[in-house]
């Protein structure tokens, strides 16, 4: 930070306000209706688990909730040895 930045530095309150607005918009919605992104995550996982054994170590789920759009990333590494129907291994 140079000297000029020090003098021009704006307060952190506007950041707090924006973060709260985005968060509360989401939380208010999810109070009245179940969280769509969470439901999708559960159901997608269930479908995949029916066909392949999912190792929790090879699973990355991330969500990014935005003001107008949310994204859900599900990254599953399926080792080739387990990429066979569960019915056969049972």
DSSP 11-44: PSHHHHHHHHHHHHHHHHHHHHS--HHHHHHHHH
List of long-range contacts for 12-20, beta carbons under 8 Å, 24+ apart? none
* Residue 24 sits in the site that holds other proteins (CB under 8 A): yes
- Judged by CB under 8 A, the residue of 1, 3, 5, 28 near other proteins is 28
* Residue 11 sits in the site that holds other proteins (CB under 8 A): yes
Euclidean distance between CA atoms 2 and 54, whole angstroms: 50
- Judged by CB under 8 A, the residue of 19, 29, 51, 84 near other proteins is 19
Q: How far is the CB of 18 from other proteins (least distance, A)?
A: 10
Residues within the interface to other proteins (CB under 8 A): 7-14, 16-17, 19-21, 23-24, 27-28, 31
């Amino acid at each position: 930070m140079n000297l000029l930045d020090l003098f021009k530095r704006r307060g952190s309150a506007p950041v707090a306000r924006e973060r709260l607005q985005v968060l509360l918009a989401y939380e208010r919605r999810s109070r009245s209706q179940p969280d769509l992104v969470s439901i999708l995550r559960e159901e997608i996982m269930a479908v995949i688990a029916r066909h392949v054994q999912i190792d929790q170590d090879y699973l990355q789920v991330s969500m990014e909730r935005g003001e107008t759009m949310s994204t859900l990333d599900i990254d599953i590494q399926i080792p080739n040895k387990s990429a066979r129907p569960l019915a056969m291994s049972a």
